[in-house]
Amino acid sequence: MADLVGKRPRIQGEVRKIEWRKLKKERKEEKKKWRELKMIKKLEKQRAQEEAEKQREEAEETHKQTNGRSYTLSVALPGSILNNAQSPELRTYLAGQIARACAIFCVDEIVVFDEEGEDVKSIEGEFVGIGKKGQASVQLARILQYLECPQYLRKAFFPKHQDLQFAGLLNPLDSPHHVRQEEVLEYREGIVLDRPTRPGRGSFVNCGMKKEVQIDKNLEPGLRVTVRLDQQQIPESKSLKGRVVSSQEPRTHAGLYWGYSVRLASCLSAVFAEGPYKDGYDLTIGTSERGEGLASIQLPNFNHAIVVFGGLQGLEAGVEADPNLEVTDPSVLFDFYLNTCPGQGSRTIRTEPRLSPGTALKTLSSEEFPLSNIEASLSSLRGSHPHLPGYPATSYHWGWGWGWA
């Protein structure tokens, strides 16, 4: 009896030992299955990411195949034209007329140069406004940039300034990149917000919509960016998805006019020497009453064209004041030196009528060439020559540049 009592615990211990081994084995199998499931999920996630990346690449390829516009059009004019206005209100309104004319004709870059031979430092740093001599170029550039910027971004990029005191008088450009809140458009301008994001996620951008847009990159807050919204969005999501793209993509891929950039140049020669394009401007046009008529020229193909206008004293004043130029005749600086308003009925054409978009004159075949110098030149570049690629029927644009620190 004593032997039986002593053996029972040992038998029970052996049974427990066997059960424990079985339990261990089962746990190992469960862990193995869990690892396999985890690996399958990881692979599925990877495949989904690869598929999404493939779709994005296909979308980009589709964008490249669309009728984009590869060439650019620039306009250069002296800031001194504002000095012809009799009051600060008229100076502001005149700058607005220039911006409107350039936006209507899809100008990609506006260069404001100093034709009075002032010190280069006069167009750098902080400025007190229009009260001091030599600030016309800066004020013109500031107003041009202000008008180009979408309304919902102006508060962030343009603090209160004396140069913008009468900005309320300005007519809006109403360019396509000034997208309204409810308007549906693939591209939008935005500002990167200072908001925390999860690791591996991009920054949030305010694009002027009810929902913020989460982009694919982490960028410094306060930057102005061009965003291409994803075609497929999740309606229940608190934010939209998009990608940061070049400010030139709406023009080159989709053929959209996306605004103009503004550049300051210290003199006439700096207009060409400090250009943003690697090979410079391959078509340069100067305007003067001493130039050739439009009917006598045929424009070649170009990648980057620039049309240069003089001030009240013409381009001769800019050439004379430029320390880097040894020539006296402005026509030698350009591929074409044109008179866009032959037989004018006034000794001088002021900036206001030259830039007025209202009046027009048919001078070449059936093409309309506006009476204003800038419009006439831009019209001839747009469509008067069949071998030149024309602007698309619906043209938009987005671009920008800051001319001061």
Instruction: Provide the pLDDT confidence category of residue 359 given band limits of 50, 70 and 90.
Output: very low
* 141 vs 43: CA distance, rounded Å: 54
Rounded to an integer, the average pLDDT of 136-147 is 92
Q: How many CB atoms lie within 10 A of CB 377?
A: 26
Half-sphere exposure of 320 (CA within 13 A, CB side): 8
Answer whether residue 165 shows pLDDT above 80: yes
Strand 72-78: give its sheet, edge to edge.
Answer: 261-265, 109-113, 72-78, 304-308, 283-293, 336-339
Percent of the chain with pLDDT over 90: 23
Predicted TM-score of the model (pTM): 0.72
* 326 vs 323: CA distance, rounded Å: 8
E strands in 63-193: 72-78, 109-113, 187-192
Residue range 103-125, pLDDT digits in tens: 988 899 999 998 876 544 444 44
Task: Evaluate the CA torsion angle 224, 229, 235, 237 in order and state its sign.
Answer: negative
Element (H, E) at 224: strand 224-229
Which CATH number applies to 72-175+259-363: 3.30.70.1400, 3.40.1280.10, 3.40.50.2300, 3.40.50.9100? 3.40.1280.10
Mean of all residue pLDDT scores within the chain: 76
Rounded to an integer, the average pLDDT of 134-142 is 84
Rounded to an integer, the average pLDDT of 209-238 is 89
- Contact assessment for residue 238 and residue 211, using Cβ atoms and an 8 Å cutoff: yes
Rounded to an integer, the average pLDDT of 275-289 is 88
Rounded to an integer, the average pLDDT of 220-248 is 89
Instruction: Provide the pLDDT confidence category of residue 221 given band limits of 50, 70 and 90.
Output: very high
Q: Write down the pLDDT at residue 148.
A: 94
Element (H, E) at 320: helix 315-321
Rounded to an integer, the average pLDDT of 274-294 is 85
Rounded to an integer, the average pLDDT of 348-359 is 48
Q: Write down the pLDDT at residue 140.
A: 92
- Of residues 291 and 377, more confidently modeled: 291
Instruction: Provide the pLDDT confidence category of residue 157 given band limits of 50, 70 and 90.
Output: very high
Query: Helix (H, G, I), strand (E, B), or coil: what is residue 363?
Result: strand
Answer whether residue 261 shows pLDDT above 60: yes
- Of residues 318 and 349, more confidently modeled: 318
- Of residues 219 and 56, more confidently modeled: 219
- Of residues 350 and 277, more confidently modeled: 277
Rounded to an integer, the average pLDDT of 195-216 is 89
Each domain of the chain, given as residue ranges in start order, spans: 72-175+259-363, 187-246
Topology adopted by domain 187-246 = OB fold (Dihydrolipoamide Acetyltransferase, E2P) (2.40.50)
